[in-house]
Each structure stands twice: as C-alpha cells, then as structure tokens.
Structure 1
Amino acid sequence: MMLNYEVVLSKMPLLLQGCLMTLEVSLLALLLGVTTGIIGSLCRLSTNKFLNLLAFLYVWFFRGTPFMVQLFILYFGFPGIGLPMSSMTAGIMGLGLYTGSYITEIIRGSILAVDKGQAEAAESLGMNGPQALWHIIAPQAIKLCIPALVNQFIMTIKNSSIVSLVTISELFHVADRINSSTFRSFEVYTTIAVLYLIMNSVFMILAARLEKRMARS
C-alpha cells in the first residue's frame, strides 16, 4: 500500500491542538512533580521519623507500581469510594505524583552528593541548618541534579501519552481518533512521533542552555 501523508497533514490543526494539550498536561504535572519532589526530598532527609516514613512510603508506592495503574485508581477507583474527579484532574494529579516520586530521589541524591564539608563550613560561619541548605548546599545540589531532572522532564512529556486512556484529548488521543477514521496507522503514528520529538528537542535545547549558564555562574 502506498503511503499517503496528505490525509494526515490535512488533520494537522487537530494534531497541533493535541500538542498544546500535551504541553498543558505535562507542564502542570511537572509543576506538581517538582513541588512534591522538593517537599518529599526534604522529608526523606528529615530527622523526623514520621515525615521520613511518609516520604519513603510515597516514593515506594509510586515508583513501585505502574503509572497506568495509578491513573486508573484515581479516575476509575476513587469514584467508587465517593471521590470522583475529572479526567484532566486525574491525569495531571496522577502524572504529577508519579513524576514527583522520581524527582524526590533525584533531589535527595543531589543534596547528599554535596561535600559534607560545605555544611560544616556554613555552620562555622554561624549559619543554622535551613540557612546552610538554602545558601550553600541547594545551589550546588541544583547544578548536580539538572541532567537527571532534564531526563525526568522528557520522560514526563512522553508519559503524558498514557493519560489518553482517561479520555484527555492530548496528542496520542487525537492521533488515535484520526487513525480510526483514516486507517492510515503508519502515517499517523510516525507523524506524532515527529511531533513528540520536536517538543522534546526544544525542551532539551532550553535545558542545555540553562545548564551552561549555571555552569558559568
């Protein structure tokens, strides 16, 4: 069978709308994930046993179970216990919490990788724990964790395709609808592969520039 990309290109406005929805879901999930990751990493490093255990259980569950299962619990399971939520809320919350569990460990590992002598030097200057963390340790930890965070951000954009299972009209969901009406599977899925590649490439370029700027500073 001859390839025919004209059919798919005629649907490009729909695919671009799907790209915008993908970016919206991904960015909101990243915002939640980074926030959760910062809080989770601080709890994991805390001497408070309850906070430490709570953060450990969060990371253990979300890293140890498939994202699709977590998403289905939120969207299909929670209504069964009287906690219904929209597909958008379930998608963003699920993707954000899943991403946050990985960011928690990335940030925690980066903080632990900073030489302990830095904290001791800050203490000798009269800084307390929070001041040393904010002014001395955190700036160095951020530089260490940027490559891993960039990789996790890219994974979040790719994982956003799974939220199509709860009827969010992101790129993959739109592509599925187009494929159902045109039966041009190869053309449809190779086109969205290129669109995903473009989105992630732009993000990688911006992240590389940020990494270089921070290295100079």
Structure 2
Amino acid sequence: MDMAGMEAAGVELIGLLRAAAPTMLTGAAYTLVFAMASMVGGLCLGFPLALLRMSRRRALRWPAALYVSVMRGTPLLVQIFVIYYGLPSIGIEFTPVVAGVLALSLNAGAYLSESLRGAIDSIGPGQWRASLSLGLNHWQTLAYVILPQALRVAVPSMSNTLISLIKDTSLVSVITMTELMLTTKEAIATTFRPLPLYLAAAALYWCMSLAFEALQGRLERKLGRAHRA
C-alpha cells in the first residue's frame, strides 16, 4: 500500500472510531455502573458469608462453604443463563439488567467472602484477646479492632475482584444487557468492521482497569500511612 492509500485508510479508521465513539462510550459508562453495583452487592453478600465461614457451628459454616464452592466452581456464564433463562421456568423472571447485576453480585460475593475471611484470619489472636481483656465484646472487637486492620489486607484482592467485574460484564451481553460489549456489537452490525471496533473495546476495558489499578495503589498507600501512624 502506498503512502496515499495508508493515509486514506487512516482517515477512514479515525472516522469509523469517531462515529462509534458515542455508542461505545455510553456502553462503557453502563459497564462501570453495573460493575460498581455488582461490587456493592457482592460485598453485602460476601461479608456475612465470611462470618458464616468462620463460625464454629457446622450448621452455619457448611452451607456457606457449599455456596462458595458452587459459585467459584461453575462458569459465570452458566450462572447468568440459570438466572435469566432457567428461573422463568419456575415462575421467577428478571429484566436483563437485574439478572445481570444479580448474577455478577452472587458470583463476586463468593470471591469477596474468601478475601475477607483470609484478611480477618490474618489478624493475630492476640488482637482478639487484648480487646476482650479491655471489656469489648466479640462484635465490638470485630467492628472496631479487627475489621479496620483486615480492610488494609483485603484491599488488593478486593480491587482485583472489581477489575474482574469490569471485564466480566462483557458476559451479560448474551442476555441483551446494554454494556460495552453489546454496544460494540451493535456498532459492528452497522459498519461491518469488527477488528478495529473490538480493539477499541479492548482498549476501553484496559483504560478502565488501569484507572482502578491507580485508585487501588492510592488507597493502599493511604491505608499504609494510617497504619504506620
């Protein structure tokens, strides 16, 4: 290809990306909203699961362990299909958005529970004994002494879960939930140029992941300074 041809191809590519940008950026915004909503839902589920996994009662510990094992041992795509396509057969129906966020939240909750459980277990038993000797009960010790320290330990793995959620939202496009991958497919359907648009979608996912990696590093440094102080 001569210089003129390369220049024409470049102009065409820029025009293609410029035309697809509004749709894809809207999809990226939805991706961030859904990932954050799923992270909140996962934390709301993961913390109680972590406490149940640490319980001395088998009747509480085993069901929580079974749930974590099932959610971590089965593909997220299968879980999405079960919730969106399977549950209507027994009279339970969800919109694509609710089904997608629910599936992501249930899956993330299993991983976050293990992150939180490991972080809590990393705090030495001396912290518990010292707090109890000062008159704090079990729940006060957990809330005011153990969890603030465990949070600092759990931040990297929790951030990894959030970054994974950003990428996993691409799976919910199979149930027509509007996010970055679905809007990219819609742009491809009108332009018939899959390679540059898929590469642009990959770049957007990467940029979102980089942004949260930067936030993770900043939060770790802040928590580290607070701990040293």
What TM-score range do you get, normalising by the shorter chain? over 0.9
Paired residue for 2:4?
Answer: none
Q: Give the counterpart of 1:179 among 178, 188, 191.
A: 188
Choose which of 110, 120, 139 in structure 2 pairs with 1:101: 110
Deviations 1:87-131 (A, max 9, x none): 111000000110110000000011111111111111221221111
Q: Distance in 2 between matches of 1:50 and 1:166?
A: 36
TM-score by length of 1: 0.96
Which amino acid is 2:175 matched to?
A: V
Letter in 1 for 2:157: A
Question: TM-score by structure 2 length?
Answer: 0.91
Cα distance in 2 between the residues matched to 1:30 and 1:140: 21
Q: 1:5 touches 1:187 (CA, 8 Å); kept in 2?
A: no
Gaps of 5+ in 2: 2-8
Partner of 2:129: 120
Q: How many residues are treated as equivalent by the alignment?
A: 217
In 2, are the aligned partners of 1:75 and 1:84 still within 8 Å (CA)? yes
Q: Equivalent residue for 1:142? A: 151
Contact 1:28 1:92 in 2 (8 A): yes
Distance 2:17 2:178 in 1: 17
Aligned partner of 1:122: which letter?
S
Matched position secondary structure for 2:132: helix
Aligned residue runs from structure 1 range 63-212, under 5 A: 63-212=72-221
1:17 to 23, 26, 31: 26
Q: CA RMSD in A?
A: 1.3
Alpha-carbon deviation of 1:198? 1.4
Query: What secondary structure does 1:10 align onto?
Result: helix
Question: Given residue 126 of structure 1, which amino acid in structure 2 is its aligned partner?
Answer: G
**In structure 2, C-alpha distance between the alignment counterparts of 1:51 and 1:23, rounded to whole Å:** 34
User: How far, CA to CA, are the matches of 2:111 and 2:50 in structure 1?
Assistant: 10
Letter matched to residue 73 of structure 2: G
Offset at residue 57 of structure 1 (A):
1.6
